[in-house]
Amino acid sequence: MKTRRDFFKSAAVIGALGAAGLPLRAAENKVEPVPVGDDRGYWISVLEKISRPVLENLARRELRLKMPVEEQPGAKRAGFTHLEAFGRLLCGIGPWLALENLAGGEAKLQAEFIKLAHTSMDAATDPQSPDFLNFSKGGQALVDTAFLAQGLLRAPKILWEPLEPRVKAQVIGALKSSREVPTPDRNNWVMFAATVEAALLECGEPTRADRLEDCVRKMLGWYAGDGAYGDGEFFHFDYYNSFVIHPMLLDVLAVLKKRDPGFAATQAAELSRAKRFAEIQERLVAPDGTFPSIGRSTTYRFGAFQTLAQISLLHELPEKIGPAQVRCALTAVIRKMIEAPGTFDAAGWLQIGFCGHQPALGENYISTGSLYLCTAGLLPLGLPAADPFWSATAARWTAQKLWSGENLPADHALADAGTVTVPALPRGSL
């Protein structure tokens, strides 16, 4: 029997990758130097550094062979970690992959990564692939099927529509297979089921109300006030309102509103809450670019700012927050974290940690693939370079203004009674 290594040495596979224009070089263990002040250039260098090992190896059907699995002893995450890496990566870089009219080196990199993403999608969902990923066995499979689904929702014109029919059928089969995981009902996992169903709806497939509308209704029922949701019945002081809850609510409700105008009021209420949460997040960035490590999963690094990043991408920042100050704040955070010694191993893979390599921070559900949710902090790369987020003159963020003595108005909570309704999709419309 041939080993995976023997398979990938075959001339047929290598030839196919070459014909598709896919690179065969190893990832370089560095972030390319970018002049201070070129924030977009720096973000692009970070995106490339993080993405290349995952996309290149999965496109070659070598992800299981090459990606290390760092985890707590006995955690047994090898069955999940590879889908974590791929799904979370596409969730974060999807808007940039879909951005039109790029030029120069950024356009060349985007074209390369689009090819890699398409080839990787085939490798990940082909049951005959040595890198066929786990979409159905164990609860974690639902989690990362959902992140992959979120990537499809964020970039359908580039991650879904161009796929050949065979690959589309594989993707739909993979999404549907996650239904083998029972419908969640106690915490933020309800949004994983809902996000998968929303992607299936966008792919033209029938959905299940218990995993879509019912799950959204349950999540909205846990609203705690001032832009924050409980993670189930109780509020948790961590970053899950940004890792999962607001981003997935925004994406799922956008799909439902498009299908049925009856969801408009619900979507508007959630957008208001997400904007308030983004406003709070901007205030969390200290003058030096640090922020509190609070609660679980802080090894997702700057993915903790996904809600702020997404609200920026949607051009929905509160009026009192300028896009340039968000750009500068997030750039400071990303530099602090990405440049900390030990963030990457010698082959360019992310290592467990918040600021560098800190394996003790990794809970028993954390492994190498989990860490790629950090790319959700890069969502504003889906905005063109001429957008004010990138083109406006550098500006101080709130903490810098306050700690320098600037006289700013006081911050106030969101006045929101928390009562919203979630209609049911007409069954006949599906």
Q: In this structure, what is the dihedral angle of CA atoms 98, 102, 104, 110, given to the nearest 10 degrees?
A: 0
Is residue 142 in a domain?
yes
41 CB contacts (<8 Å, ≥6 apart)?
34, 35
Taking the C-alpha atoms of residue 3 and residue 13, their distance in angstroms, rounded to an integer, is 14
Is residue 201 in a domain?
yes
Task: Tell me 352's DSSP state.
Answer: S
Answer for the pair 10, 71: CB distance below 8 angstroms, yes or no.
no
As given in the structure block, the two tokens for residue 270 are 């959630």
213 CB contacts (<8 Å, ≥6 apart)?
256, 422, 423, 424, 425
What is the number of H-type helices and E-type strands within the chain?
18, 2
Alpha helices in 9-38 (DSSP H): 11-19
How many CB atoms lie under 10 A from the CB of residue 85?
30
Residue 126 lies in domain: 41-408
3-state secondary structure of 349: coil
Taking the C-alpha atoms of residue 335 and residue 96, their distance in angstroms, rounded to an integer, is 20
Residue 126 CA: distances (Å) to CA of 18, 23, 196, 257: 20, 21, 18, 32
30 CB contacts (<8 Å, ≥6 apart)?
49
Answer for the pair 251, 191: CB distance below 8 angstroms, yes or no.
no
For 280-318, give one letter per residue: b (16+ CB within 10 A) or e: bbbbbbbbebebeeeebbbbbbbbbbbbbbbbbbbeebe
User: Per residue of the chain (430 residues), what is the pLDDT tens digit?
Assistant: 334 333 333 333 333 344 334 444 444 445 655 556 799 999 999 999 999 999 999 999 999 999 999 999 999 999 999 999 999 999 999 999 999 999 999 999 999 999 999 999 999 999 999 999 999 999 999 999 999 999 999 999 999 999 999 999 999 999 999 999 999 999 999 999 999 999 999 999 999 999 999 999 999 999 999 999 999 999 999 999 999 999 999 999 999 999 999 999 999 999 999 999 999 999 999 999 999 999 999 999 999 999 999 999 999 999 999 999 999 999 999 999 999 999 999 999 999 999 999 999 999 999 999 999 999 999 999 999 999 999 999 999 999 999 999 999 999 999 886 777 677 765 433 3
Is residue 421 in a domain?
no
Answer for the pair 120, 57: CB distance below 8 angstroms, yes or no.
no
Taking the C-alpha atoms of residue 15 and residue 134, their distance in angstroms, rounded to an integer, is 27
pTM beyond 0.85, yes or no? yes
Is residue 4 in a domain?
no
As given in the structure block, the two tokens for residue 177 are 């297979």
Number of structural domains in the chain: 1
Residues forming beta bridges with residue 223, ordered by sequence position: 229
Here the CATH number for the domain that contains residue 264 is 1.50.10
Show the CA angle centred on residue 200, arms to residues 198 and 205, nearest 5°: 125
Is residue 26 in a domain?
no
Taking the C-alpha atoms of residue 28 and residue 346, their distance in angstroms, rounded to an integer, is 9
As given in the structure block, the two tokens for residue 37 are 């002040």
Is residue 237 in a domain?
yes
Is residue 368 in a domain?
yes
Is residue 362 in a domain?
yes
As given in the structure block, the two tokens for residue 59 are 């496109």
As given in the structure block, the two tokens for residue 157 are 């014109």
